Structure 1
Amino acid sequence: MAADAAGTAQIGGALVRLRRATGLPVAFGGLVEPGRQRMRISEFSGAAGLALRGVAVIPGNGLGGKAVALARPCAVTDYSLSRQISHEYDAAVAEEGLRSVLAIPVVVRRRVRGVLYGALRSAQPLGERTLTAAVQAARDVEQALVVQDEARDLLAAAEVRAAAAGSGRGGGAAAGWEQVREAHAALRALAPRIADPVLRAELLDACGLLAPGAPREPERQPVVLAPRELDVLACVAAGATNAAAAERLGLRAETVKGYLRSAMRRLGAHTRGEAVVAARRAGLLP
């Protein structure tokens, strides 16, 4: 999967929202490079030139490096004159004409994954409203990265479990299929939360790869379920109550009941258990 592409897309979207919320003329940022102790500035919004594009920020150096090292927001009113930071990047900052700058780290599981910057071309305090908006933009990126990390972990686990279930025998195979079903339900619940369309499509493709491994009855008439009906049924198959499925999918309990009733009707089932069995026989669930 294009992990870096998905992450940088989240950064880019956050920068646009930050400028829209604050009126800042320039916002920029980037991700910490995997396996390397540096953050590279790659995304921009606003009237920025090329001086900062591609600049690698080392932890502790400059304003962004300080934010990475401390894992907390940092700001200066006049970048070139500030005594609170080191000045390795003064030339690039001056070429862009930036004076008042803030840097907000993107922290996921206690690890800094990126930095968002906002800047003015005049030396004046950025204010609490701007800082709050910047922190919120960083939190949005953090949440998106958490969801993407969960998705990748689930995909990896699903592949391992599917392989184990396919090669296992007896009780081990049965246990393996239960794990596959749990992974399938988790993937179905997570997919609607993924903003990146490429990653979301990969998750749904993985769900499709897991389900065909289940026993099928080819003579049965093909059954088609709506995506949300299948999401609910996958949760039920993993042992979730209606209330638990609602919490997992971000729906109301009554909505879950409605989807479940509709799925049962399409499958010709009279109970939740019958619906799950019918869906497995139709190859819709693992």
Structure 2
Amino acid sequence: MPDPAPLLARAVRDLRRESGLPVAFGGPVTRDGRGFVIDQLCGTRTRSLLSLRVDAGAGLGGRALELARPWVVDDYFASDTITHVYDHAVAPERLRSIVAMPVRVGGSTRAVLYAASRRPVGFGDRGFASLARVVQRVERDFEVEGEVQRRLAAALSAERDADRGAPAGSAAELDELLAELSDIAETVGDEDARRRLVEVCRRARSLSRRPPADRRAAPRAPAVRLSPREVDVLAEVAVGRTNDEVAAVLGLLPNTVKSYLKSAMRKLDATNRVQAVHRARETGLLGR
């Protein structure tokens, strides 16, 4: 499971900025799903909410967690739709209008986020739409990082199997998994999430850069010839870099990188970047 702290820290900042509300906070749901702990604050004046454990069904956030949907109060202390067991933590912040929103991934709630004002405000359709966009982004980030964790675990497991001589895994499978992760990175719009995804690929690649001696086979004689720039581009792709990052490293335009990659794929008779890297390694055109 990915560490939720960086995702939630960014989410509460985004909630505050995009909603125009002065306060945002939240925290991850516990493993048993019966509550959550507020560990991210933005715009608060005190630390009264920090480390507060909120149980399912209790208070505003607990209600949102229990029902698995947003819950809003226009005037927190006057509301009769929630219990008031956490008034002692809310009072120092003098919060009035508050909305609590569950972050849902794969049918379960992973976190609860709040946005709040110290004066009564109406949460209209536009206000809820801006809040929903932030929640959807953090839900997508959880999904992406969860997939990264799953694929990375599978890749490293394959590498360990290969080290033990087991037939289940191979360095080629590891290459393919990491290349797939790089392709996923190209589709992620959130810059922070994309950078984390690329960094995972690099760390995994560094762990498997040198296979054991008994698995090092002499490369076959190259059947094709790649230009030096095509080799450079493939080498950067092999360590998990996206096209934009390859362009920055090599001092090229992104479209030029795509052109070199397309040319290398054609020469190697590869249908995608994964095959291109794998076949370049097999034929000795690219170091292992």
TM-score by length of 2: 0.75
Matched residue pairs, number?
Answer: 258
Unaligned stretches of 5+ residues in structure 1 = 235-253
Deviation at 1:280, TM superposition (A): 3.7
Q: What is the rounded CA distance, in whole Å, between the counterparts of 2:77 and 2:241 in structure 1?
A: 59
Return closer, same or farther for 1:187/1:25 CA change in 2, 3 Å cut-off: same
Point out the more displaced range, 36-45 or 274-283: 274-283
Is this contact kept in 2: 1:217–1:281, CA < 8 A?
A: no
Return closer, same or farther for 1:182/1:125 CA change in 2, 3 Å cut-off: same
Q: What is the rounded CA distance, in whole Å, between the counterparts of 2:241 and 2:54 in structure 1?
A: 47
Is this contact kept in 2: 1:27–1:44, CA < 8 A?
A: yes
Is this contact kept in 1: 2:8–2:138, CA < 8 A?
A: yes
Is this contact kept in 2: 1:61–1:88, CA < 8 A?
A: yes
Return closer, same or farther for 1:184/1:111 CA change in 2, 3 Å cut-off: same
Pick the aligned partner of 2:180 from 180, 186, 192. Answer: 186
1:209 corresponding residue in structure 2? 207
Unaligned stretches of 5+ residues in structure 2 = 223-227, 243-254
2:262 corresponding residue in structure 1? 261
Pick the aligned partner of 1:279 from 266, 271, 281. Answer: 281
Structure number having the greater helix percentage: 1
Return closer, same or farther for 1:257/1:38 CA change in 2, 3 Å cut-off: same
Q: What is the rounded CA distance, in whole Å, between the counterparts of 1:137 and 1:160 in structure 2?
A: 35
Is 1:11 the equivalent of 2:8?
yes
Q: What is the rounded CA distance, in whole Å, between the counterparts of 1:141 and 1:285 in structure 2?
A: 38
Q: What is the rounded CA distance, in whole Å, between the counterparts of 2:90 and 2:279 in structure 1?
A: 63
Secondary structure of the 1:113 match is: strand
Is 1:31 the equivalent of 2:31?
no
Return closer, same or farther for 1:284/1:76 CA change in 2, 3 Å cut-off: farther
Which residue identity lines up with residue 184 of structure 1 in the other structure? L
- 1:218-233 aligned at under 5 Å gives the runs 223-225=231-233, 229-230=237-238
Return closer, same or farther for 1:282/1:93 CA change in 2, 3 Å cut-off: farther
Identity of aligned residues (%): 34
Is 1:65 the equivalent of 2:66?
no
Secondary structure of the 2:5 match is: helix
RMSD: 3.6
Deviation at 1:179, TM superposition (A): 3.5
